[in-house]
Structure formats: structure tokens, C-alpha cells
Structure 1
């Protein structure tokens, strides 16, 4: 399943910003896979921190093979040593079992998070061990499909902004200017900025000063 958006969002962004309009027209629809299950999305994101997407997928597959189905109960039954044996760090195994324990005891309510505002959901998710603000924002976008996520801490978003708008640096004030411009469809703008940062338009370059 891909992040759901259509002409309503792209027409709005095209009308609001000439350069983003050109980017949308050049790239066309962007397909980004989403995981709509919040429990597995949290675990996925903990596993995936500071490793490649391929390594993340390998560990996740091992986890499914080892546990049968990945639930709070099967994670707690496995314990930290077995999870670590699947290829993740000891700390990540601890974070995942801590999350599973909170789900099992009812200390963390996934259904309640689904109903929260973006700010509340980010605050609740980032209170979990192993989940920072950036990771919480990615869960909102790629799991909950929230339409207005724009992450200042995402280096590729900043790179995309530099490339499209020819900035040397993106500070918080400048970033917030773009957030206001793209709102309420920042998530779709993010998809296009990621695509640009990844080389979707070959002639676009990063205007950040070269490091000496």
C-alpha cells in the first residue's frame, strides 16, 4: 500500500508554489510504501535506526520467521537475548521489549494515539524508549498517513529544499516559512522533496557550501 494522495493535494501545492509545481510536473506521482499497523511500524522504526533499509528488512523477516507473528506477547516470550540474536543491537532489543511490555500491560494505548492530534501523537510516541521526534514524525507519515507532516530534523528534506529553492542553508525560520506555504499538505510536499534529494531531477544540485 502506498501513501494516499491525489490531485486535490498536488493542485493546491502547484498553485501555492511555482518551483514545487515544476517539480511535481517533472516527477509525476510519487509512490511511497506505508505500513498501516502502528504496532509493527514502531518496531520497524526502532530496528531501522542507523542501518540500511536492506538490513532493516532482513532483521524484520528474521523476526517474523522466529516469532511466527510479531505481537507484544511473542516479543516478551522471546526476550532480549533472542531478539539480539536476530541481528539487532542489545539496546534496540531492550527498546522493543520495553514497548511490548507497555502494550501488554496497557500502559501505552495505540488506539488512543491514532485519535490524537499530530502534536499529541508525536509527544506520546517520542516518550517511548528508542523513539525520538524525527522517528515519531516518520511514523505519523508512513503509518498513520497524516497529511501535514514536515520534519525539520530530516536531512533529506533540508537537502531537497536547498536544491529546489537554491538555499545554502535551511534554518528554522526559513523552514517554518515553507511549512506555512505547504500546509495543510506538507506530507505530499515532503514526498517530492525526498524524491529531489534522491536525484529524481538529475540537473538539480545541492547549494550547501562545500566542506573544506
Structure 2
């Protein structure tokens, strides 16, 4: 299945809390968990690339300026921008190169971002990771929020590492490798577990650290609840 609705999130949360009772008080403390979905395509991937390695507030500001400049952030439209125009909205040289590489691949037909929704997740991650400037975090976040894969946990995300350490009362923040092992307890619903821990982090820290996403649905409030 794919995670496409608040109902899917509710199903996942029910399965997770039954599978791992440690998550019950975490969900109770967090409240509704947002779906945070973007449609698959260049705009969704571009917003995630913009979010790489900077704060959510900075990423949101850059993304909003890019949307204001282009209207709809599509591959052909982005390729029409010059270097100075890209830098004027706040994009770094590395992100300009990554966005241009992705946009060029989409326009050339060598990157099918919709098609990635229906292939093996490791194949999808490898396909995205072959593009310049796109690492595992970017690929996994695309699969979680745009492709709707149910069993992806972006273990390299620092906010998720901190949230898991806090929620499970760990002595130290887990490394990506350690978190990979911990996340196996939440399979096959790890994408829902990631949403839960991002929401928990936002609740505890009063700061949303989930990636900036494209489209109006990305900002909708959560409506799910544990039945």
C-alpha cells in the first residue's frame, strides 16, 4: 500500500502501537500526526532538495521565494532561471547544481519521478542517489512524503535521531546505524513512525523540523487519531 491519506496514517499508528506499546504514551503526548504529503514530481523533489542541511525556517523562506518567482516549480520552468536568479532566491551553488541535474533528467525523460512510486524502494533510492547532490536523506524523504512508501525511516535525519533518543529515554542520540536497527521494530510502518517522531519533536521542542514540502496539502493540520 501507499500512504496517501490521514486514514492511512491512522491505520499505521494503530498497527504501530499494537506492535510496540512504547509508542502509546509518545502518541498520547504528541496528539494528531500530520500526513504531510506532496504529489510526486519535480516540485516535490525540489522542495526537499531546498531543505537539505538548513533550518526549516530558512528552507521555507527560500522555497516561498522560488514559488513566487516561478508560480509552479516545474523542471522546465526551473531550467529557465539563470545563475543570478537562482542565487537571488537564496539557493546555494550546490543546490542549484542538484536542482538543475534533477530538472534536466526529468526533461530528458531519464528520471521518472512518478514511476518511482511503484518500484522497489531500494531501486528508487539508488535511482535518486545517482543524481548529483542527492543523497540518501533526500531520496528517503521523497519516498516517504511524495511516493507514499510505508516502510522508510530516514535514519540520517538529526531531528529524528533526537526525537527517538528523547522519546525512548536513550542515554545518547543514536547514530544512523543504531537508529536503523531500532527502526526495524516499527516495520512495515516505519514511514508512519517517522511522522510520529517528527511530530513528537515539534511538540517537545516547539519547533517543526520536518522537511519543507511542496503543495497545499503539505501544510494541512493532522486529523487522525488513535481509535
Shorter-normalised TM range: 0.7 to 0.9
Instruction: Choose which of 87, 90, 101 in structure 1 pairs with 2:104.
Output: 101
Q: Residues 181 and 127 from structure 1, CA distance in 2 versus in 1: closer, same or farther, beyond 3 angstroms?
A: same
Whichever of the two has the greater Rg, that structure is: 1
Shift of 1:124: 0.9
Work out whether 1:145 is the aligned partner of 2:166: no
Question: What TM-score results when the alignment is normalised by the length of structure 2?
Answer: 0.77
Q: Deviations over 1:123-162 (max 9, x none)?
A: 1112212211011111111212211111221222222222
1:44 paired residue among 32, 42, 47: 47
Q: Is the 8 A contact 2:102 2:131 kept in 1?
A: yes
Report the Cα distance in structure 2 between the residues aligned to 1:135 and 1:173, rounded to whole angstroms: 17
**Corresponding pairs, count:** 202
Between the aligned partners of 1:135 and 1:22, the Cα distance in structure 2 is 30
TM-score if structure 1 supplies the norm length?
Answer: 0.82
Instruction: Quote the Cα distance in structure 2 between the aligned partners of 1:61 and 1:175.
Output: 32
What does 1:1-212 correspond to in 2, within 5 Å?
5-169=8-172, 170-171=174-175, 174-200=178-204
Question: Please, what is the CA RMSD of the aligned residues?
Answer: 2.5
Cα contact 2:40–2:114 (8 A) shared by 1:
no
Q: Comparing 39-48 with 66-75, which one deviates more in the overlay?
A: 66-75
Query: CA shift at 1:201, angstroms?
Result: 9.1
Q: Distance in 2 between matches of 1:61 and 1:154?
A: 23
Relative contact order (alpha carbons < 8 A, sep ≥ 6): 1 or 2 greater? 2
SS in 2 for 1:30: coil
Note closer, same or farther for the CA distance 1:159–1:54 as it changes in structure 2 (3 Å cut): closer
Displacement after TM superposition at 1:192 (Å): 1.9
Segments of 5+ residues of structure 2 without an aligned counterpart are: 207-227
In structure 1, the gaps of 5 or more residues are 203-212
- Structure 1 stretches of 4+ with a deviation exceeding 4 A read 1-4, 171-174
